[in-house]
Structure 1
Amino acid sequence: MISFDIAPYREHPWYQALLLGGACAVVSLLLVGGNAMTSQPIQDHLTADKLAMLAQVLPQSYYDNDPLAETIELHSDALIGPATLMLARKNGELSACALQLSTAGWGGVMQIIMAIKPNGELLGVRIISHKETPGLADKIEREKSDWITSFDGKSLTNVSEKGWAVKKDGGEFDQFTGATITPRSVVRGIHQGLLLFQQWLKNQPSATTHTTHNEQAVEVHS
């Protein structure tokens, strides 16, 4: 049996480079294999989370399509980043939309999801995430208070322009004791969302118009 002594080569740079390259190749293969095994379960989990989030404001009875597959990016100067409009269809016709947007709160960015009928009426609103003060401003959460449900049924038609504010500012919506900025931000975000939806709807040839995934839509400037 022929033996090969590698000891004399261990100090050579090419040997060290070869050893390092081999180790990197093994690690890369392990990472690729691990990603292939976990990417689908992760994607399935994310989809389930999005559907659960959607179900909070938009009942399944409103659609027979996949709203997550029909999304449109909308833009408003009054919001943080683009908003995502998800189209719900029943028998091919637009039955409702869900709009996810971000607005500035007292503690940081708040993410809001709202469902809107084609006539502009709100089906429901929920706060997805926020950084507001616990015990003081977290009444925006449905689990802590029913305040967020006060927007159900509201629209740009049955609430005046001035009415889209907290009562302290002359509007229709309650604020929280010692925490006015948070509800003020939520009201402002919802109002901007409704304006954004209204502008988008005006640009559609009809309520049944089919739109493609990630189509760029209108911008609203405040």
Structure 2
Amino acid sequence: MKFPHKNLLPLIILAGLCAIVLSITHDLSKERISENIRMEKLQVIGAVMPPDFDNNIYDDLKVINYSDDSGNQVTTTVYRARRSDQPVGVVFMPIPAKGYNGTIHLSIGIHYDGTLSGVQVLKHQETEGLGGNIHQDKTDWLKLFANQSFDITPMESWAIKDEAGIFDQLSGATITSRGVINAVKNSLELYMIEQDALFSD
């Protein structure tokens, strides 16, 4: 059988080959992007949770909703660390905190016993040199939370020193400091209340 348009045949074949190549390239790009996102997230998790877990923490997660100080509904992801199928801790990410110039997004790691393993800033809009010093690349202020718990510091003392608390504030950044302290305290309280539920499927 003769092809009615011989001159079009090479073009049709070429177009088909191009479509196949584009499809393969697109799939490979999607896989590469997904893997990059995964690796970036694992780095963030590792920054606030010591690597004493052996599960696939990236996929061992639970999405939860809770109310913040203002009664707003917040959605966050809980990454669950386990060792030999036993709970080791969690990472909340992202956790919103009230900053001077907007919302500060945090990642918060908590050991199974309710001790903080780490806090880091994921994103913020605070003023450089003031509230911007909240970021871990600028100062060590966030290390104030390391190994803190409600056993060590009762809830009523989770405030800056000027407000009868135990935490130093960032210089010139009272609102930023207060917002982050409250967000960390509330996350720890949420964990202590919902601990069993957070590790259930």
Same fold (TM over 0.5): yes
Specify the code of the residue in structure 2 equivalent to 1:77: S
1:17-166 matched pairs, under 5 angstroms: 34-60=25-51, 62-78=52-68, 81-100=74-93, 101-166=95-160
User: Please, what TM-score do these two structures have when normalized by structure 1?
Assistant: 0.74
* Cα offsets for 1:65-88 (capped at 9, x unmatched): 111111112222117631211110
Distance 1:174 1:196 in 2: 24
Picking from 187, 191, 201, the partner of 2:185 is 191
CA RMSD of aligned residues (A): 2.4
What displacement does 1:103 show?
Answer: 2.4
Give the residue type in structure 2 aligned to 1:192: N
Write the distance in 2 (CA, Å) between the matches of 1:107 and 1:146. Answer: 21
Corresponding residue SS for 2:157: coil
Distance in 2 of aligned mates of 1:103 and 1:34: 40
Residue 200 (structure 1) shift: 1.3
Aligned-partner Cα distance in 1 for 2:174–2:192: 27
Task: Pick closer, same or farther for the CA change 1:188–1:36 going to 2, 3 Å.
Answer: same
Cα 1:186–1:31, aligned 2, differ >3 Å: closer, same or farther?
A: farther
Cα 1:95/1:35, change in 2 over 3 Å: same
Bigger RCO of structures 1 and 2 (CA < 8 A, at least 6 apart): 1
- Partner Cα separation in structure 2 for residue 163 and residue 29 of structure 1: 63
Distance verdict in 2 for CA 1:203–1:64, change over 3 Å:
closer
Q: 1:29 offset after TM fit, Å?
A: 8.3
Q: Distance in 1 between matches of 2:40 and 2:180?
A: 22
Gap change, CA 1:194 and 1:52, over 3 Å in 2: same
Long gaps (5+) in structure 1: 5-27, 212-222
Alignment partners' CA distance in 1, 2:49 and 2:92: 10
2:131–2:173 Cα contact (<8 Å) kept? yes
Give the secondary-structure state (helix, strand or coil) at the position aligned to 1:82.
Answer: strand
AA partner of residue 55 (structure 1):
G
**Structure number with larger C-alpha Rg:** 1
Deviation at 1:180, TM superposition (A): 0.4
The aligned runs of 1:171-182 (5 Å cut-off) are: 171-182=165-176
Provide, for residues 142-198 of structure 1, a one-character-per-residue CA deviation record: whole Å limited to 9, x for no partner. 221111001011112221122111112211111122210001110011011111111
| Structure 2 residue matching 1:99: 3-state secondary structure | strand
Residue identity over aligned pairs, in percent, reads 25
Task: Assess, with a 3 A threshold, how the Cα gap between structure 1 residues 42 and 80 changes in structure 2: closer, same or farther.
Answer: farther
TM-score (norm 2): 0.81
